[in-house]
Amino acid sequence: MKRTNNGWLAAVAALAVLGCWHLGEVREGMLNCGDTWLSDNYLLLLAAALAGSGLCGWLFLRDARRGTWASGSGGSQGPSQNALAVRLARLGRRLKNHEWELTDLYPLTGIFLGMLYLMVLPPLSAPDEISHYISAYQLSSHMLGQPANSEDGHVLVRARDWVLEDVHKDYAYEEENGYLIKKRQEGEGASVVLGSPLVEETYRILREMSQGRGRQALPGGEKADGEEMMAASAYPPVRTTPAAYIPQALGIALARVLGLDSLWLAYLGRFCNLLFFVAVTWLAMKRLPVGREVLFGVTLLPMTLHLSASFSYDAWIMAWIFYFTACCLHLAYKAERVKVQDVAALALIMALVGPCKIVYAVFMGLCLLIPVKKFGGWQKWFLSACCVLGAWMLVMFLVNGQTVSDYVTPETENYISWAEETGYSLGTLRDQPWRCLRLFVNTIAWQAEQYHLSMVGAYLGNLDPVLDVPYLLVVLFTACLLLLSLRKPGETLVLTGVKRLWIWFLCLSCIGAIMLSMLLAWTPIGSKVISGVQGRYFLPFLPVLLMALKNDALVLTRERNRKILYLMCCTDVYVALRLYSIVSMRL
């Protein structure tokens, strides 16, 4: 006889109580600013959060005693036949019997939580999101066959969309060469970008924009024939591969084709990025022979959700590194042999990710986990390695050749503009190695706590310390990830011995590469620690690092993956509700 686990009802009830608690804070902010609609919006958010949490809980915990859902921990998970008819038949049986595998639950959970964070943390509020938005806008113009840049290189946007980067209309404009540009004014300050900083006024602006009131276009934004003019953005695009902005650009292009306003344009771009992240990560989960629950857990960290539901290319990097890791582990421990299409996939992923963050090239080393015999001999292994490494080097040369050349030239003087000081260079590393080593040691000793906090969820928004996850919840998320990474009863260890050490070495090398890159690009010569390193940079390799922690010394007596993951989901929901209340009181 089936026994239904109703623990999700208690979880939803607890969320309802906590949600009502924060409703008082929202009402306090409402009384201070006079925006009575704040509480109405919060109640709608709370209702959606409770409904989504209840559905996820029912799917995660239903019939848990019988274990009708596979955990995805073992190497034998997943269909063994490739026939489409067999796959459809198996899917039909699972749906009929309410038998959902762990990976089947991720798309629903990822989209639900991503949408929650997308609404609470509005457009352009994520780290460097304004530059990522401009980069995606530039690519959307190329997709539509329209002019993307002005004569001086500035990205062209629709006149109505300038409101996203100048919400108060602080700038004056003039027409030049058929498009609008910002007038040059003495002593002018920077304009206010939507969501930076994220305060109660941001929600008010979003409400006005949704109602079509007052913030939709620049003066003189139409030509004589009624066609909308373009305006030159004041923000530069990111210098990287345009491929990193394909999902966001597709959303922006769709909004432009349909003639939608700026708000729809911003949310469609973000939503397409979220869909891409969820889709590629889901494919990675399906292909992983081990550790699916660990990858699931990493995707539920607040920082991961925030980045995946933004314009940031971090979603692109994380998704493809997750999939690259899954491909390598699949070929190493499950596939019978390495095919040509497998090598092509690994080479393509490295070509897509390399120009975004050169430091993640370290993870090409995961390919060394694949036995040479699966390639058919050393000759084919060497040819495959040349294809993967060659694809990465070719794209790096085409996209970032000049930047890399500047950094690797020891005699090049490095100037850090934000600090208005001279920075470190490779010449400094060569001439003063002990000083640089001391800088690395100090950074690890003094900044490790900050890296941990910011990796999980501190400093959400545009590195805003007010928009954070409480420390106790950071500890809870960390404990959940560690529990997911422990060996379960009956689970066979795969990553052991030298292979485990190799993965740890790759992760440590990647951390060192991240620190080195920020030492050269962001650290002034007078700094006592390396500046610019953020915990979110560690997210792409966090899953494989946790997978390598499984051992025989610590073994859980019972598998509780679903309960742990659902606890993380509920915690994410609470974090979103709390963030809304914080912003509502932030006048």
Q: Alpha-carbon distance 380 to 362, whole Å?
A: 22
- The whole domain housing 71 covers 7-124+272-334+409-585
When pLDDT is cut at 50, 70 and 90, the band that residue 327 belongs to is very high
Residue 421: inside a domain: yes
When pLDDT is cut at 50, 70 and 90, the band that residue 75 belongs to is very low
Half-sphere exposure of 37 (CA within 13 A, CB side): 8
Share of the chain above pLDDT 70, in %: 87
Say whether pLDDT at 184 is over 60: no
Residue 161: inside a domain: no
Lowest mean per-residue pLDDT among 29-38, 207-216, 364-373, 529-538: 207-216
Residue 174: inside a domain: no
> Mind giving me the DSSP string for 408-459?
H-TTPPPEETTTTEEB--HHHHHH-HHHHHHHHHHHHHHHHHHHHHHHHTSS
Say whether pLDDT at 68 is over 80: no
> What average pLDDT score do residues 323-344 get?
95
The predicted structure's pLDDT at residue 191: 74
For the stretch 349-394, pLDDT in tens is: 999 998 898 899 999 999 999 999 999 999 999 999 999 999 999 9
For the stretch 301-323, pLDDT in tens is: 999 999 999 999 999 999 999 99
Lowest mean per-residue pLDDT among 112-126, 183-197, 284-298: 183-197
The predicted structure's pLDDT at residue 186: 47
The continuous run of DSSP H or E covering 174 comes out as strand 173-176
The predicted structure's pLDDT at residue 102: 84
The predicted structure's pLDDT at residue 158: 92
The predicted structure's pLDDT at residue 189: 60
The predicted structure's pLDDT at residue 428: 80
For the stretch 518-561, pLDDT in tens is: 998 888 988 889 999 999 999 999 999 999 999 888 888 888 89
Distances (CA, A) of 234 to 131, 181, 256: 10, 9, 20
Residue 400: inside a domain: no
Which tokens is 201 given?
A: 């006024």
The predicted structure's pLDDT at residue 391: 94
Say whether pLDDT at 87 is over 70: no
The predicted structure's pLDDT at residue 86: 65
For the stretch 454-477, pLDDT in tens is: 999 988 998 898 998 999 999 999
Say whether pLDDT at 70 is over 50: no
Strands annotated E in 312-403: none
Pairing of strands 415-416, 421-422: antiparallel
Share of the chain above pLDDT 90, in %: 61
DSSP, collapsed to helix, strand or coil, labels residue 337 as: coil
When pLDDT is cut at 50, 70 and 90, the band that residue 72 belongs to is very low
| Per-residue 3-state assignment (H helix, E strand, C coil) for 105-142 | HHHHHHHHHHHHHHHHCCCCCCCCHHHHHHHHHHHHHH
φ/ψ of 224, rounded to 5, equals -65, -30
> What average pLDDT score do residues 20-43 get?
92
Residue 370: inside a domain: no
Distances (CA, A) of 488 to 145, 199, 299, 551: 54, 45, 21, 10
Residue 306: inside a domain: yes
Q: What is the pTM of this model?
A: 0.91
The predicted structure's pLDDT at residue 74: 42
Residue 142: inside a domain: no
The predicted structure's pLDDT at residue 229: 84
Nearest to 40 by CA among 51, 53, 26: 26
Residue 16: inside a domain: yes
Q: How many domains does the chain have?
A: 1
DSSP, collapsed to helix, strand or coil, labels residue 352 as: helix
